[in-house]
Amino acid sequence: MSKIKPSKGAPYARILGVGGYRPTRVVPNEVILEKIDSSDEWIRSRSGIATRHWASPEETVAAMSVEASGKAIADAGITPEQIGAVIVSTVSHFKQTPAVATEIADKIGAGKPAAFDISAGCAGFGYGLTLAKGMIVEGSAEHVLVIGVERLSDLTDLEDRATAFLFGDGAGAVVVGPSDEPHIGPTVWGSEGDKSETIKQTVPWNEFQAGDVSNLPLNSAGEIKFPAITQEGQAVFRWAVFEMAKVAQQALDAAGITADDLDVFIPHQANMRIIDSMVKTLKLPEHVTVARDVETTGNTSAASIPLAMERLMATGKAKSGDTALVIGFGAGLVYAATVVTLP
């Protein structure tokens, strides 16, 4: 018989507050067109993107996260000292160690919480949310700060016609805390590693460091290109449209609700055509508010869902207590979907 005492966590968890930060520089498609042979009409028709935000040198991964976190903590009505853990999802923090989560925890005045980074691409927010829920129910933390943050402008090849227009920068954060009722449903998540080559970094860091020009891509000036994110657009589009709608439906089923019970749909903001296709496949009713933040924010990977959530609530298009389906999907290929009650 075990001598270990049982955990004394909360019966359930919920999102208590949300915050976002978008860099001050707004970049229209015209800037992207300076480096690629395309048009504003083509970019909009293919992706739905008109503008995106690019960070300045001062708007670091940590700095953007601190801003978003402060808003989320205030929105939750708690103090930074009450944060028991900080989870950061990002692929654009360039220090292998230490985790940027530790720096963020210190800068927001959270004391000595558990703090770590995860790498799950565009599904990272969903992964972090699931971990936070488990920590609260298990009893290892009462309040968990979950951050999705990216500076994808640092990993964008502006000469790549297929991806140059896609990516933006920003940070979104939520505070997850205890609840007496279920407000975060079961997570449907997984990976398809056989498709890992469809979204990837062009060159591993060690190969870039070696600097062998015979094996590395060069820019138009004949210089070695900095590693960037590349993708097989059509393959990713087909996977997202046909497979992720199934995952979204599974999340609805796991939560015990139907599309008619939804108030809000917040998918990863990858592409407007993907979003519209998922809405059609899921047969979402007209009353469901759909996040289409991609138009002015671009694809911000792990930050896209909390940023879209924050904007919907700030503009009044979604309200506290609404039932929302969230789903993230991307590099790996990985995915995560769940149903939540908005804070």
- Respond yes or no: is residue 299 known to be catalytic: yes
Other CB atoms closer than 10 Å to residue 56's CB: what's the count? Answer: 11
In degrees rounded to 5, what are phi and psi of residue 89?
-105, 120
Distance of CA 91 to the CA centre of its chain: 10
Query: How far is the CA of 264 from the CAs of 124, 284, 287, in angstroms?
Result: 20, 10, 9
3-state secondary structure of 24: coil
Q: Considering the candidates 29, 93, 268, 271, report the single residue annotated as catalytic.
A: 268
Q: Considering the candidates 29, 143, 183, 299, report the single residue annotated as catalytic.
A: 299
Query: How far is the CA of 177 from the CAs of 9, 53, 72, in angstroms?
Result: 11, 30, 12
In degrees rounded to 5, what are phi and psi of residue 318?
-135, 155
- Respond yes or no: is residue 271 known to be catalytic: no
Are 125 and 337 contacting, i.e. CB atoms less than 8 angstroms apart?
no
Query: How far is the CA of 4 from the CAs of 1, 7, 134, 205, in angstroms?
Result: 9, 9, 19, 44
- Compute the Cα dihedral for 266, 47, 329, 122 and give only its sign: negative
Q: What are the DSSP calls for 161-174, one per residue?
A: TTTTTTB-EEEEEE
Residues written for the chain = 343
Q: Considering the candidates 53, 122, 143, 271, report the single residue annotated as catalytic.
A: 122
**Tokens at 279, concatenated:** 């809405």
- Respond yes or no: is residue 122 known to be catalytic: yes
Question: Which residues partner with 201 through β-bridges?
Answer: 229
As annotated, the active-site residues are 122, 268, 299
